[in-house]
Amino acid sequence: MHVSTTKSLYARWRTLPVGKVKLTGGFWFEKQAINRRVSLRHGYRMLVQSGNLNNLRLAVGAGEGAYRGPVFMDSDVYKWLEAASLDLANDRDPELEALVDEVIALVAAAQQPDGYINSYYQVNKKPEDRWTNLDHDHELYCAGHLFEAAVAHHRATGKRELLDVACRFADCIDGIFGPGKRDGAPGHPEIELALVELYRESGEQRYLNLAIFFIDARGKGRMRGYGRWGAAYHQDHVPVREALEVVGHAVRQLYLTAGVADAYLETGEQALMDALLRLWHDATARKMHLTGGYGARHEGEAFGHAYELPSDECYCETCAAIAAMMWNWRMLLATGDPRYADTLERSLYNGFLSGVSLDGQRYFYVNPLQSRGGIARPEWYGCACCPPNVMRQIALVGNYMATTDETGIQVHQYASATIEAAVGDERVVLQMDTRYPWEGHVRVTVAETRSGEWTLAFRVPGWCNHAALWLNGDIIAGGASDGNYVTLTRAWQPGDVVELDLEMHPRLTAPNPRVDAIRGSLAIERGPLVYCLEEEDQEAGVDLLDVRLLPDAELEAEWRDDLLGGVVTVSAEGYVADVQDWETALYRPVPVLETIARPVKLLAVPYYAWANRTPGTMRVWIPQARP
């Protein structure tokens, strides 16, 4: 998950090492503290309870009973290891590090002499069965998560043990697959991006070559697929360079594109970038939910047709939002185009963050934009890909804040944090303070600087219509500059203060009229946050099926310390439609004129915070009243 583009030849921007962005307060600091104190501990307990660690013990020859869970149980262990390792870079908690060391020792013990590790195959199958079901058995997928965990652990702690385990397994796989060896590609992409990262960490060119081999091996129509999709379920229906649209299982598609973007960052192959641009356009202009969630259908956990974006029966797997962020981050690093940071931010604050409860110990796999009631987050899943994925994303969130290049530092996301970066190999330290995402004011103090001129760049998010910039109290730039970076170049002095003001008002958003499911509806947004109506916050007797909004509705934002851990709510003047005539009919001949029963004040809360109280009804999209 942590990307290092410090040596990537085709990166426009360089990432910061793990631990160099330390959150110091506010929104993400609090999320990270809950992740550390609650989620990571809870995750460890769940790995014990669900049998993941016992499966590895069985592979060692110890353990109790039989293998439990789906074939990819090891990947949950690796994702947890990666999350905990990344968090050790934020705060080296000795108790957590002891758990990490214990699990790493178990993984190392489970590794076979030839480097192979997969508890499912080691416990349930014979050695000759390995690699016989690449479509569905997730051996390469689990390997990929091991590699990511190993890279994170090495970067965060400097310890090599897990990295050595990972390299031995990568060597084992490299001995089997490749040109002149065995052909084939994993049914679930993941190893591609992980091998590129393992290459970046180890310097071993064979790992990059193997990643590209797996990318090139797709698209031969060999995979059996699932349901009506056939090979497209696995993105095996067309070679990556010829792909025109995102299809099939959404997480597989988005992990694949993230891996292809990694390959581009190292090789600069234009055909890969051309394919990525086509796929990105298809994903974001036709198949993305307002929340930055992806996947329209439960069947096949899949993308639907263009503009098939139902609010209630959509899938929007938490892992798909995470995969999309991983892809957008790589696209941003490759191109410097702020629309990727905008898209990442949309998923981060909405379709991703709804995946975890405010208390950090319950999780959503599916993230609908409308609930008819009765939906609550369980504490774990039989297929538990999402919870540890949430943990690693929250542990890493600081790394999305900033990058560097030869000329200076670019700030992409806003949070109170200390940012330590090298500009031209010389140390610069920034202290950023903000109440983002609740307020659009950001204050950056240059704490340490190098000599000579360098440039500070700030992203003006696409949602912001007016941004202003001050230097040491003097206004530098003002005016409309949405969806871009504003820059300041000078010989900075310690104590220099830059203030950025991103105008943040509640706003109404309309969907593309081709989206049948939500045509004629409006959504409330404010800053990076998508809002929703929850039954619990509405006036007595208001059924969310009957509420309406006018496009010129007055919207009012209010900070509520007492609600959902502290949120800005948005209230809107709305209406309740008169549906009395409809009590006995489902259909009626036209013309039908809708009348309003009464005006009502609607209270919206951030979508990410829904389903943390009584599981009532919820909706993001609100039908427009007919004036």
Element (H, E) at 165: helix 161-176
Query: CA 165, CA 170: separation in Å to the nearest integer?
Result: 9
For residues 317 and 342, which CB has a smaller minimum distance to Zn ion in the complex?
Answer: 317
Q: What's the token pair of residue 213?
A: 């081999």
CB of 376 to Zn ion, least distance (A): 17
* C-alpha closest to that of 247 among 201, 198, 300, 197: 300
CB of 322 to Zn ion, least distance (A): 8
For residues 315 and 463, which CB has a smaller minimum distance to Zn ion in the complex?
Answer: 315
CB of 4 to Zn ion, least distance (A): 25
For residues 319 and 622, which CB has a smaller minimum distance to Zn ion in the complex?
Answer: 319
For residues 137 and 317, which CB has a smaller minimum distance to Zn ion in the complex?
Answer: 317
For residues 319 and 555, which CB has a smaller minimum distance to Zn ion in the complex?
Answer: 319
Q: What's the token pair of residue 526?
A: 């404010």
Site string for Zn ion, 253-292 (x = CB under 5 A): ----------------------------------------
* C-alpha closest to that of 8 among 423, 330, 255: 330
Region of 463 (left: φ > 0; alpha: ψ -120 to 50; beta: rest) is alpha
Contact 399, 418 (CB under 8 A): no
Please provide residue 312's backbone torsions phi and psi, each rounded to the nearest 5 degrees.
-95, -40
Q: What is the DSSP letter of 296?
A: -
Query: CA 218, CA 552: separation in Å to the nearest integer?
Result: 50
Q: 305: how many CB neighbours lie within 10 A of its CB? A: 12
Binding residues with Zn ion: total (CB under 5 A) = 4
Q: Binding of Zn ion at residue 319 (CB under 5 A)? A: yes
Range in contact with Zn ion (rule: CB under 5 A) among 86-94, 381-389, 485-493, 606-614 = 381-389
Contact 272, 219 (CB under 8 A): no
Q: Binding of Zn ion at residue 386 (CB under 5 A)? A: yes
345 is catalytic: no
**What pairs with residue 22 in β-bridges?**
418
Q: Binding of Zn ion at residue 302 (CB under 5 A)? A: no
CB of 7 to Zn ion, least distance (A): 31
CB of 471 to Zn ion, least distance (A): 44
Helices (H) and strands (E) in the chain, counts: 15, 21
CB of 549 to Zn ion, least distance (A): 33
573 is catalytic: no
Angle in degrees, CA 390, 396, 401, rounded to 5: 125
Range in contact with Zn ion (rule: CB under 5 A) among 223-231, 380-388, 509-517, 547-555 = 380-388
CB of 128 to Zn ion, least distance (A): 31
For residues 23 and 288, which CB has a smaller minimum distance to Zn ion in the complex?
Answer: 288
For residues 261 and 386, which CB has a smaller minimum distance to Zn ion in the complex?
Answer: 386
Query: CA 469, CA 459: separation in Å to the nearest integer?
Result: 11
Range in contact with Zn ion (rule: CB under 5 A) among 132-140, 193-201, 318-326, 475-483 = 318-326
Q: Binding of Zn ion at residue 322 (CB under 5 A)? A: no
CB of 355 to Zn ion, least distance (A): 8
Contact 116, 108 (CB under 8 A): no
Q: Which listed residue (197, 266, 301, 534) is catalytic?
A: 301
N residues, the chain? 627
Range in contact with Zn ion (rule: CB under 5 A) among 58-66, 386-394, 430-438, 466-474 = 386-394
Q: What's the token pair of residue 543?
A: 């059924």
Q: What is the DSSP letter of 294?
A: B
Contact 417, 20 (CB under 8 A): no
Range in contact with Zn ion (rule: CB under 5 A) among 187-195, 347-355, 379-387, 540-548 = 379-387
Query: CA 576, CA 93: separation in Å to the nearest integer?
Result: 52
For residues 386 and 570, which CB has a smaller minimum distance to Zn ion in the complex?
Answer: 386
Range in contact with Zn ion (rule: CB under 5 A) among 117-125, 216-224, 258-266, 313-321 = 313-321
Query: CA 52, CA 71: separation in Å to the nearest integer?
Result: 10
**Ranges within 507-536 binding Zn ion (CB under 5 A):** none
- Shortest-Cβ-distance residue relative to Zn ion: 319
Q: Which listed residue (316, 385, 386, 464) is catalytic?
A: 385
Q: What is the DSSP letter of 39?
A: I
For residues 146 and 385, which CB has a smaller minimum distance to Zn ion in the complex?
Answer: 385
Q: Spell out the residues 6+ positions from residue 38 whose beta carbon is closer than 8 angstroms to its own.
A: 359, 360, 361
For residues 393 and 434, which CB has a smaller minimum distance to Zn ion in the complex?
Answer: 393
Q: 205: how many CB neighbours lie within 10 A of its CB? A: 10
Range in contact with Zn ion (rule: CB under 5 A) among 309-317, 324-332, 407-415, 568-576 = 309-317
Do β-strands 555-560 and 547-549 pair in parallel, antiparallel, or remain unpaired? unpaired
- Report the residue from 71, 332, 385, 432 that binds Zn ion according to the rule CB under 5 A: 385
CB of 66 to Zn ion, least distance (A): 25
CB of 77 to Zn ion, least distance (A): 15
What residues line the site for Zn ion (CB under 5 A)? 317, 319, 385-386
Residues with catalytic annotation? 301, 385
